């Protein structure tokens, strides 16, 4: 096609967090096509199926077109949607929100943000948080509990002090890539070529995943543990590393709390004379303060048993060593079904290759033992000296945009008044991490405890399908006095809404961001279709009507962007004046941050943990009532932890990896994408299917129990027979609810008989530390429909 009369707009795609630079070709106001921008450092001209299908998404006739209100009672099959103006929608929202706040308090209104992509929630969430803070509600829900709590939201702050920073691996330098529950070749498209390049140059790729996902298929070594038992595998790797003397002892002595003495009687650190921490100086055979730094002539002991002022104690490393002593590869083989020799081989290869990186994502995370699993995995980097070094497990730079989340507007004591704190997720509350698991709100609505939740504004959140226990969520949403949901598409949960709002795609909205090498003002490549508004505009206009105009830059989004840009000393006008943006080179990624020196004092800064060191042993967790070490615990539910449930539901249901063409529950309506992947399915091992008499392509029902053994729910899916899963494991791709009119495929709904895997989960099996939900090791049975 001719590009002569076509305008080229440089922007970036924010369907996912990878941020690929794009060039949009626009002719007479309509989008001709989107391509990867060859000048982008991230994606170098490449682009994934989601970004490439922009024009089918934008011009899709099935999108929500205008604001609507219900005219019939909730529970009616037909809500009687009536087209209303944006003014009416926003004025009603402001009035009802003020009323609920006056009657029940601000905490009774819940602000829910869903996906980071599609409508670019990873950008506008800051202003959504600002709105909830100004309103005064500590209940700001997200998806951390089913996504990335143990990686980057907030990460593992108690142990390693890296709150909110994402792992950022230098794939050009690493010689070993250990990936766990992370289909990175598909979920981070711009990293695919870099990882394959690393492998081609000789770096080993080891993937741990119960399913042969595309990334696992490219691995030099693929280990497929019983779902939810990765912790046992990592403990066995520690066992091998310690037994074979592959530990970086100097690193442990000087940069971690491994030598800190722990009291045998109460598990707390030994303190003395105002010194909160002591180590045993092997040179002088005497205790030595560690505050947290000690002189270099000190030789702290890592092992042994000592007595200090009559208190018997041992270094934290000794306790860790004692714990993993029982976790031999042979023991782990029983737990994980992975052969002991394979575990040994991977442990040796990992510990003997430098630098070695690790990374993980929500496959590891969606388990009731996910928190400690991530700790044990991250500690592999620590004990081998691969922490925060080039080519090891390193982390991105601190964010540089000015913080506009407005947390300072929250009332005093907000954290104690949050659903997160009330639910007992003390570590989460300790981190002042107030983005709460959205399942908590369902309980609060249904029980009125700890207090009633009466209203909710949910943007870009398919709450009817995206949270485990969809039935409970739908029942809860029905009980709300006032529910507003905004999205690009009409989702199943909107059946319970009072007002629904049509949101713009990210292609039709704006923001400012760093898309290397440019600081960019991402402008709409086309105007929003129909009456859709960008989420950001909804937030700003609602804020004005709630009386927060002044704190929202008098409704001027450009001014808000300028505030965000202040640290860069540029304005939106500067960025617009030189498309595609202003070149910006961030400071080089810092390494060895644990050893950084404070310029004033000349002393090490330490990391943001209670001890100032990387923590192998968390005294803070101990005082909060948790295990200070990542000791083995079975996933719940599971064939070992809940054997009664597995008597009638003998298969293990796992759900997880995301293919590149889908973004969680989004985009199923886009025909180009749907032609590639038409039907929701369940992967069943060939041998198991044969026993069950299920042929390829057969429609089957998958059924699961609640905690008490009664039926939780069912789904109906197409059977895909494969050897990519263990004979006792079935795998269900998630995110299926939407129809695709073009291919004559109807929607599936979200409850029984649907294709929604979240209908199968009782959400009460939670990780006690983080609140994440056990979803990878769930009992189920399969039969022909």
Partner 1 sequence: MARYGLAIDPSRCTGCYACIIACKSENSTLPGVSWIRIEEKEEGEFPKVSKTWTPVLCMQCAEMPCEQVCPTVAITRGEGGIVLIDPQSCVCDGAGPCLSACPYGVLQVNQGNRPYFRDYLTPHEKQDYEVHVQGAVEKCDLCYHRVVAGMQPSCVQACPSKAMLFGDLDERAGDLAQLVSRGQAKPLREDLKSDLSVFYIDKGAGKGSGVFESGLPTPSRF
CB of residue 748 vs partner 1: minimum separation in angstroms? 20
Choose between 38 and 411: whose C-beta lies nearer to partner 1. Answer: 38
User: Of 574-603, which residues contact partner 1 (CB under 8 A)?
Assistant: none
Burial of 670 (0-12, 13-18, 19+ CB in 10 A): buried
Closest among 35, 37, 36, 34 to 55, alpha carbons compared: 34
Stretch binding partner 1 (CB under 8 A), from 40-48, 309-317, 461-469, 773-781: 40-48
Choose between 177 and 438: whose C-beta lies nearer to partner 1. Answer: 177
H-assigned helices in 229-365: 230-243, 249-255, 316-325, 329-336, 340-352, 362-365
Q: If DSSP codes are grouped into helix, strand and coil, which group holds residue 466?
A: helix
Choose between 650 and 727: whose C-beta lies nearer to partner 1. Answer: 727
Strand ranges for 692-777 from DSSP E:
699-705, 711-722, 729-731
Residue 709 is a binding residue for partner 1 (CB under 8 A)? no
Candidates 365, 545, 620, 726; binder of partner 1 (CB under 8 A) is: 726
User: Of 326-385, which residues contact partner 1 (CB under 8 A)?
Assistant: none
Report the C-alpha gap between 57 and 765 in whole angstroms.
Answer: 37
Choose between 200 and 710: whose C-beta lies nearer to partner 1. Answer: 200
Candidates 566, 741, 783, 784; binder of partner 1 (CB under 8 A) is: 741
Residue 276 is a binding residue for partner 1 (CB under 8 A)? no
Choose between 480 and 673: whose C-beta lies nearer to partner 1. Answer: 673
User: Of 642-701, which residues contact partner 1 (CB under 8 A)?
Assistant: 659-661, 671-673, 675-677, 685
Residue 36 is a binding residue for partner 1 (CB under 8 A)? yes
Choose between 490 and 703: whose C-beta lies nearer to partner 1. Answer: 490
Candidates 60, 428, 545, 620; binder of partner 1 (CB under 8 A) is: 60
Candidates 175, 275, 742, 764; binder of partner 1 (CB under 8 A) is: 742
Candidates 727, 739, 745, 764; binder of partner 1 (CB under 8 A) is: 727
Candidates 9, 14, 16, 52; binder of partner 1 (CB under 8 A) is: 52
Residue 311 is a binding residue for partner 1 (CB under 8 A)? no
CB of residue 152 vs partner 1: minimum separation in angstroms? 22
Report the C-alpha gap between 95 and 599 in whole angstroms.
Answer: 52
Report the C-alpha gap between 362 and 75 in whole angstroms.
Answer: 34
Report the C-alpha gap between 773 and 766 in whole angstroms.
Answer: 4
Closest among 136, 126, 106 to 412, alpha carbons compared: 136
Q: If DSSP codes are grouped into helix, strand and coil, which group holds residue 617?
A: coil
Report the C-alpha gap between 527 and 507 in whole angstroms.
Answer: 9
| Sign (positive or negative) of CA dihedral 307, 309, 311, 316 | negative
CB of residue 22 vs partner 1: minimum separation in angstroms? 11
Alpha-carbon distances of 227 from 148, 368, 634, 702, rounded to whole Å = 17, 11, 10, 18
Rg of the chain over Cα atoms, rounded to whole angstroms, equals 26
Residue 529 is a binding residue for partner 1 (CB under 8 A)? no
Choose between 191 and 519: whose C-beta lies nearer to partner 1. Answer: 191
User: Of 169-228, which residues contact partner 1 (CB under 8 A)?
Assistant: 185-186, 189-190, 192-194, 196-197, 200-202, 212, 214-215, 217-218, 222, 224
Q: If DSSP codes are grouped into helix, strand and coil, which group holds residue 87?
A: helix
Report the C-alpha gap between 670 and 666 in whole angstroms.
Answer: 9
Report the C-alpha gap between 598 and 602 in whole angstroms.
Answer: 5
Alpha-carbon distances of 679 from 47, 676, 695, 717, rounded to whole Å = 24, 10, 16, 8
CB of residue 676 vs partner 1: minimum separation in angstroms? 5
CB of residue 685 vs partner 1: minimum separation in angstroms? 6
Choose between 46 and 132: whose C-beta lies nearer to partner 1. Answer: 46
Candidates 47, 241, 316, 732; binder of partner 1 (CB under 8 A) is: 47
Residue 11 is a binding residue for partner 1 (CB under 8 A)? no
Choose between 192 and 302: whose C-beta lies nearer to partner 1. Answer: 192
CB of residue 42 vs partner 1: minimum separation in angstroms? 11
Tokens, residue 199: 């492998």
DSSP string for 691-710: HHT--TT-EEEEEEE-TTSS
Candidates 41, 59, 407, 577; binder of partner 1 (CB under 8 A) is: 59
SS (H, E, C) 28-59: CCEEEEEEECCCCCCCCCCCCHHHHCHHHHHC
Residue 32 is a binding residue for partner 1 (CB under 8 A)? yes
Closest among 671, 680, 677 to 756, alpha carbons compared: 680
Report the C-alpha gap between 777 and 761 in whole angstroms.
Answer: 10
Candidates 11, 43, 368, 571; binder of partner 1 (CB under 8 A) is: 43
Choose between 460 and 720: whose C-beta lies nearer to partner 1. Answer: 720
CB of residue 146 vs partner 1: minimum separation in angstroms? 23
Choose between 238 and 658: whose C-beta lies nearer to partner 1. Answer: 658
Q: For residue 517, is the peptide bond before it cis, meaning its omega torsion is within 30 degrees of 0?
A: yes
Q: How many CA atoms lie within 13 A of 703 on its CB side?
A: 13
Report the C-alpha gap between 753 and 211 in whole angstroms.
Answer: 25
CB of residue 27 vs partner 1: minimum separation in angstroms? 8
CA dihedral 239, 243, 248, 250 (to 10 degrees): 120
Stretch binding partner 1 (CB under 8 A), from 26-34, 238-246, 398-406, 507-515: 26-34
Candidates 724, 755, 757, 782; binder of partner 1 (CB under 8 A) is: 724
Choose between 212 and 557: whose C-beta lies nearer to partner 1. Answer: 212
CB of residue 396 vs partner 1: minimum separation in angstroms? 20
DSSP character at residue 277:
-
DSSP string for 384-407: TT-BTSTTSB-BPPPP-SPP-S-G
Report the C-alpha gap between 539 and 459 in whole angstroms.
Answer: 10
Contacts with partner 1 by CB under 8 A: the residue count is 63
Choose between 61 and 411: whose C-beta lies nearer to partner 1. Answer: 61
**Which residues are near partner 1 by CB under 8 A?**
1, 27, 30-36, 38, 43-49, 52-53, 55-56, 59-62, 185-186, 189-190, 192-194, 196-197, 200-202, 212, 214-215, 217-218, 222, 224, 659-661, 671-673, 675-677, 685, 722-727, 741-743
């Amino acid at each position: 096609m001719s590009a002569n009369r076509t305008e080229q707009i440089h922007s970036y795609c924010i369907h996912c967090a990878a941020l690929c630079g794009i060039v949009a070709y626009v002719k007479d106001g309509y989008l001709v096509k989107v391509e990867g921008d060859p000048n982008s450092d991230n994606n170098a001209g490449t682009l994934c199926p989601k970004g490439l299908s922009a024009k089918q998404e934008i011009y899709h006739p099935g999108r929500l077109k205008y604001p609507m209100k219900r005219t019939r009672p909730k529970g009616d099959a037909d809500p009687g949607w009536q087209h209303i103006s944006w003014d009416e929608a926003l004025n009603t929202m402001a009035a009802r929100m003020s009323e609920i706040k006056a009657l029940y308090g601000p905490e009774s209104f819940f602000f829910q943000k869903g996906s980071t992509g599609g409508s670019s929630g990873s950008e506008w969430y800051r202003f959504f948080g600002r709105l909830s803070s100004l309103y005064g509600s500590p209940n700001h829900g997200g998806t951390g509990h089913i996504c990335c709590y143990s990686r980057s939201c907030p990460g593992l702050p108690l142990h390693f002090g890296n709150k909110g920073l994402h792992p950022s691996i230098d794939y050009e330098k690493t010689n070993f890539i250990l990936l766990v529950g992370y289909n990175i070749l598909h979920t981070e498209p711009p990293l695919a070529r870099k990882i394959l390049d690393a492998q081609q140059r000789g770096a080993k790729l080891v993937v741990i995943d119960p399913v042969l996902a595309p990334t696992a298929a490219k691995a030099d070594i693929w280990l497929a543990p019983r779902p939810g038992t990765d912790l046992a595998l990592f403990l066995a790797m520690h066992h091998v590393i310690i037994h074979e003397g592959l530990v970086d002892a100097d690193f442990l002595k000087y940069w971690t709390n491994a030598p800190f003495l722990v009291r045998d009687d109460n598990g707390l650190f030994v303190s003395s004379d105002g010194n909160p921490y002591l180590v045993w100086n092997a040179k002088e055979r005497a205790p030595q303060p560690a505050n947290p730094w000690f002189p270099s002539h000190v030789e702290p002991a890592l092992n042994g048993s000592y007595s200090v002022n009559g208190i018997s104690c041992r270094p934290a490393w000794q306790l860790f060593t004692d714990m993993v002593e029982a976790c031999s590869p042979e023991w782990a083989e029983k737990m994980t079904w992975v052969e002991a020799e394979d575990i040994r081989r991977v442990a040796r290869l990992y510990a003997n290759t430098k630098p070695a990186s690790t990374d993980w994502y929500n496959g590891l995370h969606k388990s009731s033992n996910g928190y400690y699993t991530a700790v044990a995995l991250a500690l592999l980097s620590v004990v081998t000296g691969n922490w925060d070094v080039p080519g090891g497990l390193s982390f991105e730079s601190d964010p540089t945009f000015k913080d506009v989340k407005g947390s300072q507007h929250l009332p005093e004591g907000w954290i104690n008044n949050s659903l997160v704190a009330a639910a007992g997720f003390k570590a989460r509350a300790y981190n002042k991490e107030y983005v709460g698991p959205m399942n908590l709100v369902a309980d609060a609505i249904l029980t009125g405890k700890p207090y009633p939740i009466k209203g909710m504004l949910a943007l870009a959140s398919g709450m009817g399908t995206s949270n485990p226990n969809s039935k409970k969520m739908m029942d809860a949403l029905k009980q709300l006095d006032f529910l507003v949901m905004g999205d690009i598409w009409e989702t199943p949960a909107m059946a319970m809404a009072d007002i629904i709002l049509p949101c713009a795609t990210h292609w039709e909205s704006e923001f400012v961001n760093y898309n290397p090498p440019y600081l960019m003002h991402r402008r709409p490549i086309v105007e929003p279709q129909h009456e859709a508004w960008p989420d950001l505009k909804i937030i700003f206009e609602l804020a004005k009507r709630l009386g927060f105009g002044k704190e929202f830059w008098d409704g001027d989004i450009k001014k808000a962007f300028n505030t965000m840009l202040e640290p860069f000393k540029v304005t939106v006008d500067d960025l617009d004046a030189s498309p595609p943006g202003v070149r910006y080179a961030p400071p080089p990624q810092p390494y060895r941050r644990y050893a950084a020196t404070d310029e004033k004092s000349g002393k090490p800064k330490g990391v943001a943990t209670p001890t100032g060191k990387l923590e192998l042993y968390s005294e803070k967790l101990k005082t909060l009532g948790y295990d200070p070490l990542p000791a083995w615990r079975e996933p719940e539910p599971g064939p070992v932890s809940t054997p009664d449930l597995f008597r009638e539901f003998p298969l293990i249901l796992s759900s997880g990896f995301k293919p590149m063409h889908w973004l969680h529950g989004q985009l199923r309506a886009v025909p180009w994408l749907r032609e590639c992947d038409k039907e929701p399915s369940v992967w069943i091992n060939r041998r198991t299917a044969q026993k069950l008499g299920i042929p390829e392509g057969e429609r089957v029902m998958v059924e699961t129990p609640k905690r008490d053994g009664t039926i939780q729910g069912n789904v109906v899916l197409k059977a895909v027979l494969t050897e990519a899963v263990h004979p006792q494991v079935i795998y269900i791709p998630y995110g299926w609810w939407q129809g695709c009119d073009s291919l004559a495929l109807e929607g599936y709904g979200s409850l029984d008989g649907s294709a929604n895997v979240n209908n199968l989960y009782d959400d009460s099996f939670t990780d006690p530390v983080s609140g994440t939900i056990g979803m990878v090791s769930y009992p189920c049975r399969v039969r022909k429909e």
